[in-house]
Chain A
Amino acid sequence: MRDRTFAPSRILIYLVVSLIAAAYLAPLAVVVLNSLRTNEEIAQASMIGWPKQWAWSNYAAAWSGFCVAETCAGIRPYMLNSALVTIPATIISTMLGAIAGYAVSLWRFRGDSWIYGIVTLGLFLPQQMRLLPWTIVLRDIGLINTLAGLVLIHTIQGLSFTTLFCRNYYVAIPHELIRAARIDGAGFFRIFWRIILPLSSPILIVTVIWQFTHIWNEFLYGVTFTTGQQQPVTAALIALSAAIADIPQHGVQSAAVIIAALPTLLIYLLGGRYFVRGLTAGAVK
């Protein structure tokens, strides 16, 4: 069953696989093509079609031209917001998760399995259970409707994932290595820097990609805790389609969608292997 022959059954397999692949690619192709068609052209025909004239100006309009609510700065400020939330939250939560994962798996301390157990519950607890408390806490500490507030939320929430990923990776490191280093007098941080961190690049890449993708794509917190100019790009996209529902500008909207999806798509293209590893690691828990 696993030999390479060109029997009719194999041709059928290729045919079916190609058709399904086309179906998976179709929505992306449609949006890319639309982003290069003029609004008028789409309005006359349908969303699905080949550009008659290449409307590259859609991208300029989407990036810095069109209006959401009263401000006409395009999607750029919201992309910037997303970047300013995603990058710090990804870096901080990954670093803290690596240290916590190392502490829990190799250093061991009293109560570690308890606290680790509670932290991993964060993988399952629905966001809805934390919406009201976060609203109140953010308001009380003055971070409501700020990017810093979102960074804080994503860092604390992300710890559940980053700690789990790193802990599951570090348990495979032989304890003797740590024990020997400790007998030589190396402390917690020294062992982390000298021994653990140099071994960590695969899991750090997995964790960074996972966190970046999730935080960039996150919507509920963004739309709940920020408004107007402070919103991340996912929330701005929804506001955009609501704002121009009366006079649809599907060409420009398509360009905006492509721009908003580009960072995570690029990361997926560059680090697909690590992306999938995070996916399965997150699932098996």
Chain B
Amino acid sequence: MTDAVSTATRPGRPAISGVVRRLPEYLMIWVPLLFSAAHLVSFSLWTIWISFTPSTLVPVSGWVGLRNYTAVMASRNWQIAFDNLLLFGSAFVLLSLVTGLVLAILLDQRIRGENVLRSIFLYPLAVSFVVTGTVWSWLLNPGIGIQKLVHDLGWTSFRFDWLVNRDMAIWTIVIAAIWQSSGFAMALFLAGLRSVDADIIKAAQIDGAGPIRIYRRVILPTLWPITITVVVVQLQFAISAFDLVRALTNGGPGIATQLPALVVYDLMFQRGLLGRGAAAAVLMLLILLAVLLPYAAWRYFRRATHA
């Protein structure tokens, strides 16, 4: 197409000068895209390669098979991180779905000040996880936060010490994560609610269906594709969560709130075990693929059946 037009409009020009003349555009098109694509492919392969080498402080060549993987998976650090990820991932995704859906339905009731309210529910998304984590670490710190406030008000037996409680600390991350990103679920759900065909709703109303019935039978069933998207995006965040945990609990108390991303960082840059760190990173990628590949297959299937 490109060549057809240019030769048609400028007959007789030698091809080579065309290439030279169009060099800037080739460079502008190809160089950034190639850099981006090349770094994605080569860096992934590079990390995968390191994960099979005996690298410690510096990358070295050599082959240790799956030894780094078995070492990582046998470590308590990783096991706790993986269990935490399952708990954090499911609790966070479920609760932020519910919160987001409730907020979206409430905002969909034609209430006054909808724009202001929507901005309030979404502003945490503009703030960094470091800030969110820091602020919540103050609020949830029993010595200076909510527990202290309630004590000062006179209820001295009140306890809210999840941040320093090994069994409950992971829930503080759930709380902060929901506060930060349930607005995202709300925004997508609200867009979904607004795109429901008004005629269908009107027809249901004429049939005598009440608002709750209409939501349950007519509106909510149309939201499931959005729900899946929200779940996948939130899971993606949960799997690679790092900043928030680093600022809120830093994996503590002890290693009670360890998550995969923290294990990777710890192995690579604090213990200087590059091979194992790379293996942990690849494991993270595999967990992510376990979520993304079914999603991609579903999207592909849906597009194929709808087209």
Contact = CB atoms under 8 A, between A and B. Distances in A.
A71 interface: no
B144 interface: yes
Given A17-B107, A237-B130, A272 B40 contact: no
A216 B124 contact: no
A160 B36 contact: yes
Given A119-B33, A183-B9, A261 B138 contact: no
B200 to A, nearest CB: 13
B128 A216 contact: yes
A264 B128 contact: yes
Given A129-B282, A133-B47, A279 B187 contact: yes
A17 B145 contact: no
B110 A21 contact: no
Given A21-B120, A108-B1, A129 B111 contact: no
Interface residues of A, number: 91
Contacts of A127: 240, 242
Given A100-B32, A126-B239, A220-B242, 8 more contacts: A2-B109, A10-B111, A24-B124, A99-B29, A100-B33, A219-B242, A238-B247, A265-B127
Contacts of A183: 5, 9
Which 5 pairs between the two chains have the least Cβ-Cβ distance?
Answer: A217-B128, A268-B126, A1-B211, A46-B148, A188-B25
A238 to B, nearest CB: 6
Nearest to A213: B126
Query: Which secondary structure dominates where chain B touches chain A?
Result: helix
Interface of A: 1-4, 10, 13-14, 16-17, 20-21, 23-25, 27-28, 30-31, 34, 42, 45-49, 96, 99-100, 103-104, 107-109, 115-116, 118-119, 121-122, 124-134, 136, 156-157, 159-160, 163, 182-183, 185, 187-189, 213, 216-220, 224, 234, 237-238, 241, 248, 250, 253, 257, 260-261, 264-265, 267-269, 272, 275-276, 279-280, 283-284
A280 B40 contact: no
B131 A261 contact: yes
B29 A103 contact: yes
13 contacts: A17-B107, A21-B117, A34-B138, A46-B144, A46-B146, A47-B148, A99-B29, A100-B33, A115-B37, A156-B35, A159-B35, A260-B131, A283-B184
Nearest to A108: B1
B46 A128 contact: no
Contacts of B119: 269, 272
A237 B239 contact: no
A45 B36 contact: no
Contacts of A131: 47, 264-265, 268, 281
Given A24-B179, A100-B29, A126-B285, A234 B144 contact: no
A253 B123 CA distance: 21
A283 B188 contact: yes
Contacts of A126: 239-240, 261, 281, 284-285, 288
B113 to A, nearest CB: 9
Contacts of A42: 144
A104 B122 CA distance: 32
B170 to A, nearest CB: 19
B152 A133 contact: no
Interface string B148-160: 1100100000000
Interface in B99-118: 103, 106-107, 109-111, 117
A279 B59 contact: no
B298 interface: no
A188 B2 CA distance: 10
Contacts of B109: 1-2, 10, 13
